[in-house]
Structure 1
Amino acid sequence: MGSSVRELAAATPGTRDRYIDLLRVASLGTVVLGHWLMAVVAGDGVGNLLAVVPELQPLTWGLQIMPVFFFVGGFSHALSYRSLTRKTDGSVYAAFLRARLQRLLRPTMVFILVWGAAALLVQLLGDDGDSTGLTGTALRLVAQPLWFIGIYLAMVAFTPPLLRLHERYGWGAFAALVAGAALVDGLRFLGGVPFVEFLNFAFVWLAVHQLGFLRADGRIRMPSALAAAGLAGAAGLVAFGPYPLSMVGMPGEKVSNMAPPTLALLFHGLWLVGAVELLRTPGTRFVQRARVWRVVVAANGIAMTAFLWHLTAMLGVYGAMIALGIPLPAPASADWWAQVPVRIAVAAVVTALLVAAFRTFERPVSAAPGAAGKGGSGPAAALGITLCLFGVLGLSMVGFGGMLQGKSAMLVAVRVTAPVAVAMALIGWLLVETAGRGRRTAS
């Protein structure tokens, strides 16, 4: 592995934007660390450190860095789609989906299959997956990060039409998405329109994604203004509007900035994008160092696998502590804080072991000879990504527990069960894979 990483790093084209790769790794790493810090397990179940110590909630304005990952995604998707259109005859939609999603969906499907099988085994052994126990809580919590996969799928799916709008209207296309998010929140909070808030899963995150298109074309020329506007907007909305202080979801809160996302979270994303763009010059110098770049290359090769399994690792650490009779200090107590470095270190080791077991599914698979010459089935690929999107979002809400009892959760306005969500995700993935392979050209 070390030699291959060294070779990949050495073969990096001089034109590659290494800072974007650094942002991708840093943003996912920050999310993982944040989850490990926020998870608190006590005798009465699993909680959230930010609920125990509300004074720490302002930290989410720095630690809720997922908008940066989606911004990076927009940049990469723009370059990838334009590259394919130059190389491929006919429709490139199916090939684009497969190229962008191969390293995302394969490890995700393996994760779903492993946890789905584990959930069935637990129930067959007599545990009904009740959400009040640690096992039931784990079956629910490990699926929650799948919401990120669902949103990312939507971003890839909408890249071609939104990129065309960007190329025609530039900042106007971004402004239209911001206006859509503002309208949705207005209808939600002022008009009381039911279910309208779910539209902001699209408007908010696609607006952040659109900033990546602008970055790809060098059109973010005043990052300080973007950061200031975002920070002022988010602060104003939290201070005078119905928005909570925390930029991550909190247990029992009436309004969440995350699920569904709000206009306040969109402004939070603006300030983060402005901030990372202000750091672009020193960040680029930093990642040009050979050793740093090798670390970034290695981390990018396993990032999705690590993200998928990091909560499994942390819950495994807590489960081992309970099984071994190691005392669980009161959350946020001095003893609890003293345990934090040890728990995180052990969770990192367990995550590394899980990555070693499953990283092979994240490696890209070469296209068949001649497949790049023809586009695949666009409609089949579109159906596949839609099924995948709803499948993984459904799983993120219902979890893996209660699979045999028909336990369900509300996905927008439709109830979904775990078996149905698993089936949609798997069928969708197969459609994306097969449609995106294209047809082999005659030699």
Structure 2
Amino acid sequence: MDVATPVERDRAVDALRAFAILGVVLGHWLVTALVADGGTLRTASPLQHMPWLAPISWVFQPLAVFFLVGGHVATRGHASARSRGTAYRHWLAARLSRLFRPVAAVATLWTVAAVALLLAGAEFETVRALVKLALSPMWFLVVFAALTAATPLLARLNPLWPLAVVLHVDLLRFGLGGPSWLGWVNVAAGWLMPYTLGAAWTRGELDRRRAAWTLLVGGAAATAALVAWAGYPASMVGVPGAAVSNLNPPTLAAVTFGLAQCGLALLLRDRLRHAMRRPSAWAVVAFVNLSAMTIFLWHQTALMATTATGLLAGHLPGLHTRPDDLTWVAARLAWLPVFVLALAVCWTAFRHHEQGGHRRAARPGPRGSRSRSRVVRVQRAPGGERSPGARRV
């Protein structure tokens, strides 16, 4: 895989995407609890009972980095497609097909599972909680797809514009008592900010370390000020029962925190490129990129499958109990390898929906020649670009 990767490929981009995907997965596994209460499963979070664990969410909520990479790759890919004379509709179809092909399998399985559970007499609230957890990652794909489709219009947009929109929306909502539905404007504007930062990266406007340091320090300082003096939650993920969520919809604090994350990601590019020279490290990153959507879409199902299976043995600590003390945290950490195993089963069963493609049969060379020409399947990474570790031979 290391040898087959084109020399010109920026491996730091793939490493950042892999870290973002794995960060989301680990974050969900660490802060999502399904508490067995009688015959009902309900969602809970250790952040609800132990708010001092909020810094965990600062590490495992890296969505801004994913949108940064997405904006960078899409802008670069669209420019390359235009230079080759590729029509916009063909470029967009190639990018979106990789995102949405795996969705059909998840939606179909959970539709069948929800109907079967209800017919078997399961509590409606239990089924609702399970389906909501399983399908919640899809909101991200809808937003990402919309921004991807608008890439030609966004390629030169200054990131300060979406930041200004988020600022004014929050001012109206929280400062002037405006309607709460205004917050949903930030679903587009909030994630547009790191996406347009990715476009600025493509244009070479963020190549200087000064720009990255400005994003990191300025974003961190603004976030600290908003949490300390403006009443924003310290947690960067949603907490059940909380009056305000920084993520649903995104708040100004989530967006400034994303600025800091993007600055840190840009500062780490050179170190990541150096680290990715190691074939073993690159193999892991390449594997995650090739399976990114499968991992992302099925990780909650792996969590719930483990939880449901564990009920056969009773209420197990860290799996069905209230997440209200450090004992639960220690038990949940011990369950992580089991979640990984369950996700591996899901990956084995459903990866072909993402890694579609057919190996073409070998064709003999000229008569009398021992040579054989072969074509190695060319897969596509989540953004639609040629995947790491795949080239024509």
Q: Same fold (TM over 0.5)?
A: yes
Shift, 1:330, TM fit = 4.6
- Corresponding residue for 2:218? 229
Which of 182, 189, 198 does residue 184 from structure 2 map onto? Answer: 198
1:170-181 correspondence to structure 2 within 5 Å: 173-181=158-166
How far apart in 2 are the matches of 1:40 and 1:122? Answer: 20
Deviation larger for 183-192 or 345-354 = 183-192
Which of 68, 72, 78 does residue 71 from structure 1 map onto? Answer: 68
- Corresponding residue for 1:281? 270
Equivalent residue of 2:100, what SS?
helix
The answer to whether the aligner puts 1:16 opposite 2:1 as a matched pair is no
How far apart in 2 are the matches of 1:192 and 1:345? Answer: 46
Quick check: which one's helix share is greater? 1
TM-aligned CA distance change 1:245 to 1:219, over 3 Å: same
- Corresponding residue for 1:144? 136
Q: Which amino acid aligns with 2:45?
A: N
How far apart in 2 are the matches of 1:155 and 1:305? Answer: 21
- Corresponding residue for 1:85? 82
CA contact 1:119–1:139 (8 Å) conserved in 2: yes
The answer to whether the aligner puts 1:49 opposite 2:42 as a matched pair is no
Q: Which amino acid aligns with 1:345?
A: P
- Corresponding residue for 2:260? 271
Equivalent residue of 2:43, what SS?
strand
Q: Which amino acid aligns with 1:323?
A: L
Equivalent residue of 2:135, what SS?
coil
How far apart in 1 are the matches of 2:257 and 2:323? Answer: 28
How far apart in 1 are the matches of 2:250 and 2:286? Answer: 31
Shift, 1:335, TM fit = 4.2
Equivalent residue of 2:178, what SS?
coil
- Corresponding residue for 1:209? 195
How far apart in 2 are the matches of 1:281 and 1:252? Answer: 42
- Corresponding residue for 2:116? 121
How far apart in 1 are the matches of 2:302 and 2:343? Answer: 5
Shift, 1:338, TM fit = 3.8
How far apart in 2 are the matches of 1:255 and 1:226? Answer: 25
- Corresponding residue for 2:22? 29
How far apart in 1 are the matches of 2:329 and 2:136? Answer: 25
How far apart in 2 are the matches of 1:327 and 1:239? Answer: 37
How far apart in 2 are the matches of 1:46 and 1:299? Answer: 28
- Corresponding residue for 1:388? none
Equivalent residue of 2:111, what SS?
helix
Which of 188, 205, 209 does residue 219 from structure 1 map onto? Answer: 205
Equivalent residue of 1:152, what SS?
helix
How far apart in 1 are the matches of 2:222 and 2:255? Answer: 9
- Unaligned segments of structure 2, at least 5 residues: 359-393
- Corresponding residue for 1:436? none
Q: Summarize deviations over 1:219-261 as a string: whole Å, max 9, x none.
A: 1122111100000111111122131111111112221111111
TM-aligned CA distance change 1:333 to 1:255, over 3 Å: closer
- Corresponding residue for 2:372? none
The answer to whether the aligner puts 1:130 opposite 2:116 as a matched pair is no
CA contact 2:170–2:251 (8 Å) conserved in 1: yes
Q: Which amino acid aligns with 2:114?
A: A
Identity of aligned residues (%): 35
TM-aligned CA distance change 1:287 to 1:122, over 3 Å: same
CA contact 1:102–1:364 (8 Å) conserved in 2: no
Q: Summarize deviations over 1:68-103 as a string: whole Å, max 9, x none.
A: 1111101110111111111235xx332122111111
CA contact 2:44–2:322 (8 Å) conserved in 1: no
Q: Which amino acid aligns with 1:58?
A: P
The answer to whether the aligner puts 1:101 opposite 2:96 as a matched pair is yes
How many residues align? The count is: 347
TM-aligned CA distance change 1:248 to 1:337, over 3 Å: closer
Shift, 1:357, TM fit = 0.4
TM-aligned CA distance change 1:364 to 1:84, over 3 Å: farther
How far apart in 2 are the matches of 1:188 and 1:336? Answer: 36
- Corresponding residue for 1:40? 33
Q: Summarize deviations over 1:172-228 as a string: whole Å, max 9, x none.
A: x21112111111112222233322211111111001100111111221122111100
TM-aligned CA distance change 1:237 to 1:119, over 3 Å: same
- Corresponding residue for 1:370? none
1:240-251 correspondence to structure 2 within 5 Å: 240-251=229-240
The answer to whether the aligner puts 1:361 opposite 2:353 as a matched pair is yes
- Corresponding residue for 1:153? 145
CA contact 1:317–1:343 (8 Å) conserved in 2: no
- Corresponding residue for 1:238? 227
How far apart in 2 are the matches of 1:42 and 1:196? Answer: 33
CA contact 2:303–2:339 (8 Å) conserved in 1: yes
Shift, 1:54, TM fit = 0.7
- Unaligned segments of structure 1, at least 5 residues: 1-5, 167-172, 367-443
Shift, 1:315, TM fit = 1.3
Q: Which amino acid aligns with 1:224?
A: W
CA contact 1:41–1:331 (8 Å) conserved in 2: no
Q: Which amino acid aligns with 2:35?
A: A
Shift, 1:356, TM fit = 0.6
How far apart in 1 are the matches of 2:80 and 2:220? Answer: 35
How far apart in 2 are the matches of 1:78 and 1:205? Answer: 15
